[in-house]
Amino acid sequence: MPTKQRSLDVHEDVAFERRQWRVQRVSWIVIALLLLLGLLGVFGNGPLSDAVAADGALHVSYERFVHAQAPTTLHIRVSAPGASPVRLAIDHRYLDALSVEHIRPEPLRVESSGDDDLFEFAGPSAGDLQVSLDGTPQRPGLPVAVVRLQGPNAARVGFRQVVYP
Domain boundaries, the chain: 12-41, 50-164
Which residues pair with residue 135 across a beta bridge?
Answer: 72, 100
pLDDT for position 71: 94
Q: Where are the alpha helices (DSSP H) in 41-86?
A: none
Q: How far apart are CA 9 and CA 105, in angstroms?
A: 80
pLDDT for position 3: 63
For domain 50-164, the CATH superfamily is Immunoglobulins (2.60.40.10)
Segments of the chain scoring below 50 in pLDDT:
none
pLDDT for position 152: 81
Q: How far apart are CA 78 and CA 96, in angstroms?
A: 24
- Reported as a single tens digit per residue, the pLDDT across 29-58 is 999 999 998 888 888 778 888 899 999 889
Stated pTM of the model:
0.78
Type of residue numbered 110: V
